[in-house]
């Protein structure tokens, strides 16, 4: 039977990817256009967390980043979680959670043989389509933009995010070929075979 608890290795992986997402925010941000949405590498970390760790551990790593951000300015541009939630880009931060979960879920199902194209598709659907759905909804709530106005304002970022999805897919396919159990969640609990199973 499989364990529902996180092992020490699982927790270490969650911590490492939380640190990776935070580190990807250190270069800062570049704001393009009038939408106020910054270009940041942290969304790449979100995609990688889901693609490499799977839905469960990937989501935990992103929740860890958001929790740390409640006290420290670990988000790109030196922002805290509260600062981001108070801005027009709040939907993108909230969208990290479903995005990493979808990337992780799709990666383990669309890419069972670790094909690069399937891994890229999983990263794009979760890390771009889902993330933008939440991000645009947040902008519409915080501003007076319509859906099409919000989409047009963020169209500049789509090529870069598509590149991040490709990078994520390529990396995920290679890593899972070498470590196929990485995204499967917690390890299985070993047990001695019953006498009836030994023969």
pLDDT of residue 146: 94
Helix, strand or coil, per DSSP, at residue 55: helix
Model pLDDT, residue 112 = 59
pTM for the full predicted model: 0.83
For the CA atoms of 183, 19, 43, 98, what is the dihedral angle to 10 degrees? 50
Structure tokens at 71: 């006290």
pLDDT on residue 188? 40
Over 80: is that where the pLDDT of 182 sits? no
Please give the average per-residue pLDDT across 181-193, as a whole number: 51
Least confident of 7-16, 59-68, 137-146, 187-196: 187-196
Q: Residues with Cβ < 8 Å from 79, sequence gap 6 or more?
A: 69, 73, 87
pLDDT, mean over the chain: 85
For residue 30, what is the DSSP state?
E
pLDDT greater than 70 at residue 41? yes
Q: How many CB atoms lie within 10 A of CB 195?
A: 7
Please state the domain extents for the chain. 8-184
Return the structure tokens found at 89.
């880009």
pLDDT in tens, 108-145: 887 656 689 999 999 999 999 999 999 999 999 999 89
CB of 127 closer than 8 Å to CB of 103 = yes
The CA distance from 104 to 138, in Å, is 23
Q: Is 56 a residue whose pLDDT tops 70?
A: yes
Pairwise CA distance, residues 106 & 90, whole Å: 25
Q: Kindly tell me if the per-residue pLDDT of 35 is higher than 60.
A: no
Q: What are 2's strand-pairing partners?
A: 188
CATH number belonging to domain 8-184: 1.10.1760.20
Place of tokens 């939630």: 85
């Amino acid at each position: 039977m499989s364990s529902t608890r996180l092992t020490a290795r699982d927790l270490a992986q969650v911590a490492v990817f939380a640190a990776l997402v935070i580190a990807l925010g250190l270069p800062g941000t570049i704001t393009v256009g009038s939408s106020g949405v910054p270009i940041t590498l942290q969304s790449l970390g979100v995609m990688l967390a889901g693609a490499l760790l799977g839905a469960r551990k990937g989501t935990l790593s992103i929740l860890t980043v958001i929790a740390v951000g409640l006290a420290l300015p670990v988000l790109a541009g030196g922002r805290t979680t509260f600062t981001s939630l108070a801005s027009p880009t709040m939907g993108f931060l909230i969208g990290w959670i479903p995005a990493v979960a979808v990337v992780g879920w799709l990666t383990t199902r669309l890419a069972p043989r670790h094909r690069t194209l399937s891994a890229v598709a999983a990263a794009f659907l979760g890390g771009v389509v889902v993330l933008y759905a939440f991000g645009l909804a947040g902008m519409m709530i915080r501003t007076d933009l319509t859906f099409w106005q919000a989409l047009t304002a963020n169209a500049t970022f789509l090529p870069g995010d598509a590149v991040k999805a490709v990078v994520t897919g390529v990396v995920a396919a290679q890593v899972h070929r070498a470590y196929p159990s990485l995204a499967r969640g917690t390890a299985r609990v070993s047990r001695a075979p019953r006498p009836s199973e030994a023969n």
